[in-house]
Each structure stands twice: as structure tokens, then as C-alpha cells.
Structure 1
Amino acid sequence: MSESPNDPTRSDGGVVGDDVYASDEVGEQYRDTVYRDLDYDDLRTAPHTAEYPKPGRLESFREADLPKVPKVSHIVGPSAIMLGASLGSGETMFWPTIIAQYGWVLYWAFWVGVITQFFINTELQRWTIATGESIFRAYDRIHWVWPWFFLAAGFFHLGWPGWAAGGAEVFAHWTGVVAPEQWWIIGVVSMVVIWLSYMAGPVLYNIIEKVQVALMALAIVFAVVLIFVVGSAGELVNLPAGAVSFGALPPQDELDIATFLGGLAYAGAGGYINLSQGVWAREKGYGMGTYQGRVKNPLRGATPETVHDGFAFEPTETNLRRWRGWWKVTQREHFLTFVIGLLVVATVAMTVTSAYVPRGTNVVDDAIGMWVTTIIPQLGGASATLLYAVLFIALFSTQYAIVESFVRNSVDILYQGYGRTHGWDLSRVFLGLLTLFTLWGIAIIVATGTMGLGQPWILLVIGAAIAGVMMWPYNALTVILNTTRLPEHTQPGWARVVAMWWATGFFGFFSVLLIGSQLAGPVGLETFSTAINVVDSAPGGYVLWLLALVVQVYTMYVSARAKLNASGTVADAEEATGFLS
């Protein structure tokens, strides 16, 4: 909904009794996203003092009050889309394959990866809640090169429609509507259906959210039923031991590092998709994102809305308490939707593969084949049908979210970095890129399916490995951004800073292993080989490890110094802090 700033029910107004929390009537408006149109040019420019975000190389922020805080149930959405992006990648493909291949001893890496991504994703939302800007605009305030770097990396991550291809292969085996080797026909239909669905309403985000919430509800219900129908619940007895086997890894010559890094990246959505959290939060209306326009459908005659530069709120007692409220409800929304959903569906899928894949079977080279040729033939009737349904929903929902993520992120970068100053229409840019990306996906699917360029699983591994490497620099960049550019009351607390240091080191370690293995293997540069124990690396491998160490030390030094320098610079900043602030 769009709301006038003079509306007496607006959630940052004074007629509602509680100055912090919105009434149910106002809170329910968030279920369809909220946009409050302010006259941006008439707003006061935020001063360049310690109480406000640092604008860096771009325009200054404009002052507005932080809106009142809705309930968690009113703002469910961004994390449901993120969950949809996750189910068909790590949760039903990579991690069930890893557990089938190497056993429950690696389960620790899964749940650690999920919790790590909880901190990453919510830190990516922080800037948006505080300023209304996407994370890409925030990176641009540091240096113009960063958004364009992530746009290029994002294309190599998501430009391969392996999820639509994988879902199509599953659907072909399930229904027999086409021969399994003609799965590409279903893949093309899937991409067309995704494009057409965007035409269903005037606010593009709302369509995606409703579809993904429905798909995720089905996936979770089916998964809970599945574990009892196929009789794999007994595998759960192995879960506790695997969950505490911290650091356990197979010998490096037995571990497919690309698949394992893909699993770490996809213990959640991963890569370019995670960077959508801030854009989706802005579209939903989280915090100061309430004052930013949403992307509309120009084919429906929708009135355009403006995406401005950032906003900032004065650290009054009321705004500080509202910040604490917003941070609390958005964390809960992400944990209850994203984390719990992942743990349930993925663990169920792992029990099935652990129970039905014979020990010693090599399945790491083709997870889709593992499901449709090894596991499902052992099931019968309703069990096979239910498993097919879970797999197809997971893969289709992932491709749906990937199209949304790539297009929305890329449009934001193109528009903010170039288009706005050149008079581009944001909605038309979105529709144009959506169409181009859909056509590109169709071309790749047809080529893969008809010209012998590979199987769907190959496309998934390529994207996953790139996602893992991509997360290394943006984890470091995000913690530096949130500590050096945000004022004391909106900065992450020390527990979160340490969590982001861990995330940077975690993905840096496995990224160096992957980079070294690729340079030493396919490229043939043996001098860059890297070893899990580090000391057995080649000379060039030591250079890669040194690079990782420099990144880690720099990240920790800059963010720690910024936290210490900010301490005590904002009066009553403790009003904004809370658990895991």
C-alpha cells in the first residue's frame, strides 16, 4: 500500500498510543508491502556528525523518523523467498549428496553454515533497515567498483539455469510427459511460466512473495510427511554425533572440494542471492525502506514510485527504541522462516539419501541422478510421488527465486549506478532485464539439453562454487561497512562482529582450497596447489593462504578499530541495543 505522510494512522505518527509498536491495523499493511511517499527534496539533510551514517563518496542522507514496528507475522516475506532459493540448491541437492557420499560426520558443517548465513543475511539487511538503501548502494558509497564487481560475479553465479534444468529432469522422470532425455522442453516451459507470473499484479515483489510463501508451506509439510512415509526417520539417531564433529573432513583426495564449497555456500541461499536480502527488505518496507518506492509492473499501468538516496533518523529516545524493535522482529522473521525451514527440509532430505544410497556409491557427480535413478526406484507408489513432488517444488522454487534475485539485484546496480542520473524508468529496466534473463536461461537450457553441452548437475556445481568464492569478499566488506559507516546505535554488537569475522575466515579458507585445486588441476599450475592442513601446500598455495590471512587481519583490524572509536559517541545508544544487536 502507499500511504501519505499526513495519514493519521501512519506508523510513525503520534495518534497511535504506543510510540514504538504499530497498531494491528497499520502492521497488517506490511503484508502487501508499505510505501510512504515523502517529499524527499524538502527533507532536512542529515548532518555529518557521529549520530548519523557516513555518506562517503555519494549524496548525503535525508532525515525522517524511523517508522513504528509491526509484528513478526506482518513482515514475513523476504526470508520466505530466501528459503525458496535455498531448498533446491543446498538443501535437496548438495547436502543430501554430501551426506550420502561421506556420511553424517559432515553434518556439523551444514548447521554451522546455516547459522553463519543467518548472521550474514541479517547483516546484509542492517544497512537497509537503517537507511532504506540496498547493500549495493552502500558498497557504492565505499567505492564505485564494488557493485559492478558483484554484478559480474552474480552473472557467473546465477547465469546458468541449472535449477530449472534440474526441476525439468525430475518432472520428466516423474510424469513421463516427455522422455527423460527431453527434459529441456519442461525447462523452457518453466522459464516461460516464471516470466508470465510477474504479469499477475502491479507490485512485482508482492507476486514473488506470495508464490514463494505458498511453495515453502507445501515443501515443509511434504517434507515432514515424507520422513515417516519413506521410513528414514531412524537415520536421525546419527544426527547428534555428526552435529558435534566439528572440523571433521574426509581426506583431501577423497573430498570433492567444489561440491563441498557449494554445499557451504548453499547451506542457505548463497552468493549473489544473499545480497538480495537488503533489496527485498526495501521492497517489503522494513525500517527506513518504508520510504523507498517499489518496482511496479509497467504493463499493468501502475504508477511509478521513486527509489531515492538514503534516509537517516535522529537518535531520539523513541527512534532508538524503534530501532531495537525493528532489529528484533526482522531477526525473528529470518530465524523462524529461513533457519528453521532449512533445518527441517534439508535434514529430512539427508535422512532419505543416507538410508537409500548404498555405501560406496559415487553420487557426488550427479545429485539429480542420485534421486531419480538410485533412490526413487527403491520406493513405491505414494512414497515415490511425494518425493518427486518435494524435489520438483524445491528446484522450481529455487529457479523462481534465482530469476527474481538476479534481476532485482542487477537492476538496482544498473539504476543506482547509472540509470537514475540518465532518466531511466526503473520499472521498464526491470521488465527488460527480466525478459533478457529469461531468454538467456532458455537458450542455455536448450543448448544443454540438445547439443550435448552437459547435464543439469554440472550447471549447479559451476554456480555453487562461484557463490562460495563470492561470499568471501562481501562478508569482509559488509562487516567493514556496518562498523565504519553506521553510527554507534545502529552498528552490529561485538558478538555479531565476531560472527562476521568467522564468516569471512570460514568462506575464505574453503575458497582458497577451491582456487588452489582449480589452478593445480584444470589449469595445470601445480605450484598453486593448496592443502587442508595448509603446511602441505605448494609455494604458490602459500601465496594464496597469505592473501587470505591479509584479508582476515585487515577485516578484523578495521572493524574492531571502528567499533572502539564509535563507543560513547551517541547519547543513550544503549536504548537501541539488545540480544545480538
Structure 2
Amino acid sequence: MDSSRPETGGTPGSADKSPTDSQIPFVPAQRQPSTVESDTSSTATTAGGAPPQEERVWKAGRLEPMPIRPLPKAPPSIHILGPTVFLVALGVGMGESYMWPRLVLVFGPEIRWLFLVGVSLQAVVMLEMSRYAMATGESIFYGAARVFKPLMWFFFLTAILVYIWPGHLSAGASAFERVTGIPWQMTAVAGMLLVGVVFTLAKVIYNLLESVLSICIGLLVVGTSVVAAMVGNLSDLTSTISGMFAFGYFPPEAMTAAWFPIIVGSVAFAGPSGMQQMWYTLHLRDKGAGMGAHIPQIRGLRHSGEQETMPSRGFMFDTSDPAEMAKWKGWRRWVTFDAMVLFWGITMLVTISFTVLAQASARFDPNVADLIRAGDRDASLDAMASSFSAAGSPVLGTVFFCFIALIGLNATLGLFDSFSRGQADMTYNFVPGAKKIGVSKLYAMFLWGLIVFGILVLLFGPADGPAAILDVLAFLSAFAMGAYCVVLLLVNNLTLPKPIRPGIVSNAVIAFAALFYLGALFYSLFAFGVVVD
């Protein structure tokens, strides 16, 4: 796996350090009417005392214009895991391993057509999130601020309200306790401290995390596939796959107050949920995708003194230059492979494995569906562990809970990094005086603040957050998904040059996603008085 960034002809971030940065080799093409403008405020004087050289910029919104820079050449389209590993780590969580197997046990594999819709929508969202990030080197949060700053602050506050609760880590630690007998609180606290220390000592956080998560995801994909092949049979696999195409199947029981909110939540959380797609734009930047190659990578606190100066805005390439547009198409092919093969494919493979396991568990324990209907939330996990054991050895039941613990670890690593990265990005760019602290130190502050709060909650309070606000948090998480689709439409269509804006089909899919997420959420709220579960 290659975690290196594309070559841009200079040190990342150096564009903002040198007074001659406007002299980067660039052949101006035909001027973009009323969009690309000359900026004499950041000019350079030649050695012979010639008049200052005008720098071309792209104006988007009321924030600082983006200087025109060369777009790096795209790497080969077919590649090993890159930034997608973060979405896979965050997406392949309790939804794929718990929520959807539970629905299959109650309603049958035909209900999986809704999963296909959900994960396919997420793949298109991923492609459109990447459009802005690769074209500018800015996060989608910065793009939202270019449209309307309060939009960005909504996501800043939502992240704090929703993602400070250590629920994923608690679920993984609970599974680990069933294997080892070690109290889950002890494991969860030790896990958070370990994550903090590792991220603090890392030279470049992205490179370390991409490598670790790639190994964990590889173990999860291979392990679940092998055990599913041992436990399930051809009939389980056939019904799992055919169920994905049973479009329109929706039994009457699914429209009840007990199950409709669960189904809505399961569809919304097929793949990454909440703000995870928005954080993906920051991982693309640290990978050096597109114009992100001009932005420095975030370093661990120990190496924060080596952090290059972070520019106060992103960059744009010359969209009227055919050579630049050819490179842009190369980047779009690269991220399309990421979205459709790696993200969509790996997520689908893991959930197929868990669905096969769920169907096999129903044969070993025919009463599991009744237990789930009666409110036993752990019945599906216990049944799948039993089917593992029945496949050959009680050791396999232990392996299953190890998979659940691994899922919790993957999600924790991804969430801790993503939350800290997103909050640091918004704070650095839009809180007065934050630039004096530096983005690496801001990252560390949010990371350790999250860890300290999580430890306090684990030791002295409910790990999933106060019961009184759980519905509010669930609502905000799902609402954020509909909201970011609306923001995505605004950002991509109002702030990008016309040649690289999304087409009518992409816009239609994102608009449908916004209506689906928000419509289903509010219907569940007003029809049943319940938000997603």
C-alpha cells in the first residue's frame, strides 16, 4: 500500500510561505468569465524590478479567493486501500454486523434490498464529497462556510453533541469481556489511552492510521468470509444475494412503531452515518488527493514543531486548460474506483458474510426471531456466536466476539481521528487566534478532550450518553445526513467552476438522498413519535 502523496513540484504548504509563490509554472488559458479574477494583493516582484505579476484566483463565496495552482497528476485508478479505509472502518460497524442481521432474522433476506439502496446512495455521496475536496484542497466544512457560515457551525456543534459518547468502543469492549472476562470499562479506558498515545507520537497521523486500519479491515473481511463459508451453505448465500433485488418488499410489520424507526436507522446507517462522509474530505486532503497535495499533513503532537504552515484557504486549478482537465478526469477515475470497488464492494462483502451467519444462526436457534421481537437486543449476536461454535468448535464462538471487538476498535480509531480532525479544521480556519496555536496542537487538544470526557463517562456515567438525550442525539446524527446532502448540492453547484460541477444525474441522486433521509426521519418522528433506533 502506498500512502505517499502526489508530487506537486514543491513542499506541501510551501505555497503560502514564499513571496514568489505566484511564480509556480502555469500557462494561463482563456480567462473564465466573471469567475477567475486577477489578484494584485498577493503578487511578486521580479529580480529586475519589473512590475508585480498578477496572480489569477478563483472567487467562491465571500471568503478568501483560491489561487490558481497546477493540479498534480493522478495515480493509477486501480489501487489498494487509501482514504476509503476510513469510511469502511466507520461504516462496517454495528449496522452491518448487528442491525441488518437482526432485520434479516425478523423479516427474511428480502429486506436487504433496502441495504442495497442505502449503501449505493452512500457511494454516490462519497463521490460528490470528493469532488469539492479534490478540486480545492478544502474540507466540505470550509465549502459550507463559503456558502453560509452558520451551516458550518451547525456541523461543528452536531459533532460535539453526537460523537463525544464512547458507544462504539463500549460495544467492542463488551464483546472482548465475553471472551476474556476482563471488565469492559477497564478495556475501554485502556483502549482510549492507547489511541491517544499512538496518535500523539505519530509523525504523520494519516499515514499511521491508514496502515493500521487497512490491516484491521483485511482481517475482518477475510475472517468473516472464511467463517461464513464454514457455517453457512449455498442456500444461505443465494437467498442473501437474491434478497438484495427484492425491490418493494415491505411487510406490514415493518410499518409499526416498533420496527419502522429501526428500519429507517438501518438504511440511513448502511455504510458510514452521521458526519463521517464529511470527515472523509479531510482524509482525502491528507492523502494528497487532487489539490489536497498543496496542503500540509497533520502531525502528531510530538512532531507538531515540524508542522508546515497551513494555508488559510485552498487552491483551484485552471479548468479551461485541457491538460489540467485531463488530469482531473484521472482523479475522478481514481476516486470512482475507491467508491464503487473498495467502499461499496468491501462493505457489501462484509454484510453478506454477516447475513449468511444470521441465517445459519436461525437454523441452530429457531427461537431467535421471537427473542428479538420480544426486545432481546443481544439475541442476534448470541445466536450468531452459537452458530460459529456449532460449525466446529466453541473456539469459533470466541472468534465471533473477537470480530465484534475488532469492529469496535476500527470505529473508535476512525471516529477519534475524524472528530479531532474536523473540529481542528473548523477551529483553525474560523476561530480568531486559533492559527497561533497551530492545526496539529488543535487536533491534539480535541483528541485528548474527547478521551478525557470518554473516560469520565465510562467510569461515572452511561457509556452511550444520558438516556434523556439519546433520542436527540440519534435525531441529530440522522438529520446531519440529510443536511449534508443539501449542503453538498449548494457547495458543488455554487462554488466550483462550471466545467467540474456535478451533472444532472449526480445532483438528482443527492437530492433524492436528502429527501429520503429527512423525509423518513420526520415521518418516523411525527407518525410514531420515535426517531431512528
Task: Please tell me the TM-score bracket, short chain as reference.
Answer: 0.7 to 0.9
RMSD (Å), alpha carbons: 3.1
Shift in CA distance, 198/267, structure 1 to aligned 2, threshold 3 Å: same
- Displacement after TM superposition at 1:373 (Å): 3.3
Residue 483 of structure 2 corresponds to residue 498 of structure 1: no
- Displacement after TM superposition at 1:368 (Å): 6.6
- Displacement after TM superposition at 1:301 (Å): 5.5
Q: Counterpart in 2 of 1:249?
A: 250
Calculate percent identity across the aligned residue pairs: 23
Give the distance between the partners of 2:336 and 2:11, measured in 1 at CA: 21
Q: Counterpart in 2 of 1:374?
A: 383
Residue 525 of structure 2 corresponds to residue 515 of structure 1: yes
Q: Deviations over 1:410-459 (max 9, x none)?
A: 111111111566523111111111000011122222235699977xxx97
Q: Secondary structure at the match of 1:66?
A: coil
Residues 91 and 270, structure 2, Cα contact 8 Å, conserved in 1: yes
Residues 58 and 68, structure 2, Cα contact 8 Å, conserved in 1: no
Shift in CA distance, 157/256, structure 1 to aligned 2, threshold 3 Å: farther
Aligned residue runs from structure 1 range 68-107, under 5 A: 68-72=73-77, 76-107=81-112
Aligned residue runs from structure 1 range 27-176, under 5 A: 29-30=4-5, 36-40=12-16, 42-44=20-22, 49-50=34-35, 54-72=59-77, 76-176=81-181
Is the deviation greater in 284-293 or in 63-72?
Answer: 63-72
Give the distance between the partners of 2:129 and 2:465, measured in 1 at CA: 39
Aligned residue runs from structure 1 range 536-555, under 5 A: none
TM-score, normalised relative to structure 2: 0.84
Q: Counterpart in 1 of 2:318?
A: 314
- Displacement after TM superposition at 1:43 (Å): 4.4
Q: Counterpart in 2 of 1:488?
A: 498
Residue 481 of structure 2 corresponds to residue 471 of structure 1: yes
Q: Deviations over 1:501-529 (max 9, x none)?
A: 221122122111233256x369xxxxxxx
- Displacement after TM superposition at 1:243 (Å): 1.6
Shift in CA distance, 465/362, structure 1 to aligned 2, threshold 3 Å: farther
Q: Counterpart in 1 of 2:372?
A: 363
Give the distance between the partners of 1:326 and 1:420, measured in 2 at CA: 35
- Displacement after TM superposition at 1:200 (Å): 4.0
Q: Counterpart in 1 of 2:39?
A: none
Q: Counterpart in 2 of 1:221?
A: 222
Is the deviation greater in 496-505 or in 27-36?
Answer: 27-36
Q: Deviations over 1:128-180 (max 9, x none)?
A: 1111111000000011111110111222332221110000110011122x2xx
Unaligned runs of 5+ in 2: 24-30, 37-56
Aligned residue runs from structure 1 range 173-572, under 5 A: 173-176=178-181, 178=182, 182-231=183-232, 233-251=234-252, 252-253=255-256, 255-300=258-303, 302-308=305-311, 309-315=313-319, 316-357=321-362, 358=366, 360-363=369-372, 369-378=378-387, 379=389, 380-419=393-432, 423-448=436-461, 465-517=475-527, 520=529
Shift in CA distance, 218/451, structure 1 to aligned 2, threshold 3 Å: closer
Shift in CA distance, 436/421, structure 1 to aligned 2, threshold 3 Å: closer
Instruction: Name the amino acid aligned to 1:395.
Output: G
Give the distance between the partners of 2:270 and 2:112, measured in 1 at CA: 11
- Displacement after TM superposition at 1:44 (Å): 4.7
Residues 69 and 315, structure 2, Cα contact 8 Å, conserved in 1: yes
Shift in CA distance, 440/338, structure 1 to aligned 2, threshold 3 Å: same
Shift in CA distance, 366/386, structure 1 to aligned 2, threshold 3 Å: farther
Give the distance between the partners of 1:388 and 1:32, measured in 2 at CA: 43
Residues 142 and 152, structure 2, Cα contact 8 Å, conserved in 1: yes
Give the distance between the partners of 1:146 and 1:108, measured in 2 at CA: 33
Residues 79 and 333, structure 1, Cα contact 8 Å, conserved in 2: yes
Shift in CA distance, 349/276, structure 1 to aligned 2, threshold 3 Å: same
Q: How many residues align structurally?
A: 489
Residues 62 and 312, structure 1, Cα contact 8 Å, conserved in 2: yes
